[in-house]
Structure 1
């Protein structure tokens, strides 16, 4: 009706600012058993089904999977244990020796993990946290007054749990800052 009232064929592109005449024509609409439809609020909302695109598959990683991770842990622990005595003797401090040995173990473990495809990139933060954690653990275990008091009060197992909790709190606090 709008196209007929304005002489349009329906293929024209309307330009902004064009004035259109709206015809004054009423249609006779009656609700009958064939035309009447009750109100359906569900149709007012439209399609409510999920239309999220399908997630792409995860990238394929080569490597050894779980075996690579286990190998990285074994290499890291072996390097830490193997270098701890030498580092302690060289530095003249068991605390510093364990910190350096664990940093070296972290480096070796991460390099192994990257070589097996279990880790994407090297983390210097991981190396620093390993050194700090070992230093704190060695320092707490050498705090004889604290350790003796805990053992005498709670027994050996509970004292080891308490020292582990103190070490965990300290290293997690430092880890948050990194």
Structure 2
């Protein structure tokens, strides 16, 4: 593992609504159960490992960590239940840029404070510890739920990469690229904290 690289060094990030732990093979069973909540692997517009593929997906992400291009996390909710996975990916340490992506969240934790908390923790670490100049988010053009969630963070749409990736079913994905810059971070941080602090409807 490239522990000398701060972008891939293991770190645990904790807030009132979520905890992000360095991904390990020990998380396989709990994450397989989380993916089964909502049968997330059946969604055509995203890529979530089926429960029986969880071990292979963990191994893939750890391989990318060892290669220096990803820092993967297992996500847990406030009760300590496995909620999903997220990563710093496409790490460009020389230019101090990362993408927050390869994220999925069990159905029963969606539309809760968990996602906002995760993004606040990841963005705070990226800008205030890793000294990033920009953080990217990418998603399928037709994944409207994901696009709205990214836009609620305060990220700006940089553009759309057309026919960017081939999906597992053979279709071509148009990829929406969003980013938050270091100059925007203080305002985004205040906005995300306000979202977490405001009363939430039941």
Larger strand share, 1 or 2: 2
In our comparison, the structure showing a higher alpha carbon Rg is 1
Greater relative CO, 1 or 2 (CA 8 Å, sep 6+):
2
TM (norm. structure 2) is 0.23
Indicate the structure with greater helix content: 1
